[in-house]
Amino acid sequence: MHITRQIALTTITLFYLGLLGCESGSPPSQSWKYANQGILSADIAHDGQHALVGSIHHGGSLWDTTKGERLYNWNHKQGEYTTLRAASISADGTTAATAERDTIVTWDTTTGKYKAFWKAPDVILGLQLSADGRYALLGLRNNTASYFDVVRGGTIYTFSHAAEIRSVGLSADGKRAITGSDDMTVKVWELAAGKEIFSYEHQNQIKTVAISADGQLAFSTAQREDAIIWDLKTNKQLTSLSYNYENFTSARFSEKGDQLLLGTFQGLIYLVDSKSGQELKRWHSKPKKLLGGAASKSVLSVAFGRKGEYWGLASDGVMGLYK
């Protein structure tokens, strides 16, 4: 009886490990702890060399990812830890921005010094800097997105939805913007004219959007619903990703736009082909427990590294390097 029970337990364990390997992918090659109590906001630089973190109890900080070292502490008021709900690093790596409620502060990533402080039109829910750090796209609680000049101050264009806007993106060439809203729609905007050029209604609130560097591809996903890559030359669906009820929390196209890196609420990271939607690689942000709940957390930011590696920063404060 004891032998039979032991064999049964071994069989179940091996079956579970098989599922774990197939479904959850590989753990990070290396990892670093950036916050002990977790983080509220994060952005990894486009080359993966730096990470901007808004931690739960210790405010904002900029990190050197290659060394796992904190470079600067950034807070909106001296002597206080700021609760940062949104953060962004420009694609050229020179400027960072942090947001608390309706305030936005920009920082010099080289010197760590404050650059500018501005008031937004309403509470900021989503934030992305332009490639050169001159402008920011702000997703706001008042159902609009503000294309904001963070050098001179003030809104250049206002983009409207019918509900709060939580996810935004800017193409690196500075020509297009993308917004995702609780009204279940994703919209793409032409920045030169400030006009809408594409719109699609999902079946649930929009969780995450992204746009390629050249503005030709877009990604949108509703909460636990469909995840679609769009061809913005034709404004038609290029492919729909075959992940049932996955909740994507971060997304970034590769520099050439041929690949898409995705992070999930469950701590998984996927690399997919942009044209076919085929999965190329899969990882999990922390090793899974053999039995019981998963140890990993929501992946708040992902990035492609300089040397073919990949980066993912999770809400438990752990930065992972993936190969």
pLDDT digits (tens, 9 = 90+) for 294-310: 445 899 999 999 999 99
Q: Tens digit of pLDDT for each residue in 68-114?
A: 999 999 999 988 999 999 999 999 999 999 999 999 999 999 999 99
Which CATH number fits the domain that encloses residue 278? 2.130.10.10
| pLDDT number for residue 22 | 43
What is the reported pTM?
Answer: 0.89
| pLDDT number for residue 225 | 84
How many domains are there within the chain?
A: 1
The chain-wide mean pLDDT, for the chain, equals 90
Flag whether pLDDT at 19 surpasses 70: no
Q: Across the beta sheet with 165-170, what order do the strands follow?
A: 165-170, 176-181, 185-190, 195-201
Flag whether pLDDT at 11 surpasses 50: no
Q: Provide the pLDDT confidence category of residue 277 given band limits of 50, 70 and 90.
A: very high
| pLDDT number for residue 70 | 97
285: left (phi over 0), alpha (psi -120 to 50) or beta: alpha
Can you give the residue range of the structural domain that contains 231? 2-322
User: Could you identify the residue written with the tokens 């032991």?
Assistant: 6
Q: Provide the pLDDT confidence category of residue 2 given band limits of 50, 70 and 90.
A: very low
